[in-house]
Amino acid sequence: MWNHLIRQVRCRGSSFPVIFVMVWLPAVAPVSAQNIVTNSNLIASLEPWTQEASTTPDPSATGSASWTNVFNDDNTADGTGSAWIQLTGVPGQPANASIGIRQCVPLPLAPVDVASASYGAHFLAPATGNPIDGLANATVEVRFYSDADCSTFIPGTGGSQGYRLTSAALSDTVWYEIGDWNLAMPGTPVVASSAEVRVFVRTLASTDNGYQVYFDRIWMSLNGTVPVELSKFEIE
């Protein structure tokens, strides 16, 4: 699907220098090519991300969220890492039990008109330590709010993308990307002041098993643009 692809531009066989020119024009609509998520690459710690476990009306869940540098999808520089999410196995644990991390993101120049959003995350579900049953998934989710502290949800402005943890998805080396490049707001643009971004592991059916997933490169931008760092330019 298009919304699961990283966009690429390739320039082949050219002996001329390639020049990228940015021209600033008066804006006719709010546009942001900036990744507005803080600490999206999980550098050195989880902060300002906080752990969150499902509660009523969903089943309660137990587990942990911690920073680690065992796996990362950024580069190999010192200090890079990822969020290690572990959902504890509980006998008879029902569907929709989840554990993960969340962040309330103040929107730039809030309150702001939001017509659409792009969001996503990268994850690794190691083959070592995960059951081969496909009864859980890795999910990224966003929700928009009219106030600055993610208290008053704007109906219809939530979105989520998940990837089922089947045997084909489990790997000690392969990172997957989940996300949506064009989450449209309902009707006319909504006026929002903050957005909640969450990544988590969630059960899809009753299971006794626990699961672990590493998340990295969590991003969100507004009004039809994708953060610059997610576009890959190659010149050969």
For the segment 130-151, what is each residue's pLDDT rounded down to a tens digit? 999 999 999 999 999 999 999 9
The pLDDT value recorded for residue 72 is 85
The pLDDT value recorded for residue 175 is 95
Quote the CA–CA distance of 93 and 31 in Å, as a whole number.
43
> Parallel, antiparallel, or unpaired: how do β-strands 136-145 and 159-164 relate?
antiparallel
The pLDDT value recorded for residue 75 is 58
The pLDDT value recorded for residue 100 is 98
Domain limits of the chain?
33-227
Question: Cβ–Cβ contacts within 10 Å for residue 28, how many?
Answer: 6
The pLDDT value recorded for residue 78 is 60
In 3D, which of 180, 207, 193, 200 has the Cα closest to residue 153? 193
Q: Mind giving me the DSSP string for 99-112?
A: EEEEEEEEPTTSSE
Report residues of the chain scoring pLDDT below 70: 1-33, 74-79, 225-236
Whose tokens are 């592991």? That residue is: 201
Both tokens assigned to 80: 């890079």
The predicted model scores a pTM of 0.81
In 3D, which of 169, 186, 167 has the Cα closest to residue 178? 169
The pLDDT value recorded for residue 32 is 45
Region class of 172: left (phi > 0), else alpha (psi between -120 and 50), else beta? alpha
- CATH superfamily membership of 33-227: Galactose-binding domain-like (2.60.120.260)
Quote the CA–CA distance of 236 and 234 in Å, as a whole number.
7
